[in-house]
A and B are shown apart, each in its own frame.
Chain A
Amino acid sequence: MTGLSDESVDLIEGSTLADLFELYQRRFPALTSFRSSLVASRNQEFAAWETLLSAGDDVAFLPPVSGG
């Protein structure tokens, strides 16, 4: 949807996963309708939206999984 598979972003100190998602929502408004069906991950582990981010964190916003 965004055409991106990965990229790096600079955030202000104290940013959360929710803040980062908002940043992308502003760039890609179509993401807004998917927020409730996404789960966030930080450093290969599912994480709450309130989780604080640190430099070097690896973040993903994941849709429902359908492996197997």
Chain B
Amino acid sequence: MELIQSISLSSSASTILFSSIPNTYSQLYLYASLRNDSTTSSSPALRVALSSTANYDLGYRETGSSSVNEGNYSSKVNWQDMYGGVISEQKPSNSFGAFYMSIHNYAQSVPTTMVAQGTSNASESNPNAGVYGGIIRNTDVQSSINMIVDYGNFKAGCLVALYGA
């Protein structure tokens, strides 16, 4: 595995984008430490889009202190919402959520598969975690990764690194 590129935010940004990803790897690995600048939601959603995800199936399981959500996204739109991975301004202070995404077959003529997981902390006693797995049922080459958060912006200090293998 080798580092392709990384982004370290020195000031806030609404969108983080890796473009022109080389198609010379078999797999991509995205590691991110994320925080947003909004106090609106204690559990911000991270929206991730590959360049071509128009037909995907995504299953998920999300856990919190008092509930578990699980199921499948059926909307099959380009953006995938993932919880656990972004810490909000509510708490804890100055910490960043942990997010990881593995993308396989992104440059081959077979469906792209992916798995992602993230953890954030709605409060000291209420950690959130999400696990996601998906298949993109077209065979397009994925050449970009676009990230936004559902409330506010990514805060300065966020770090996102893209590796290839």
A and B held together in a complex: no
B residues neighboring A (CB under 8 Å): none
A residues neighboring B (CB under 8 Å): none
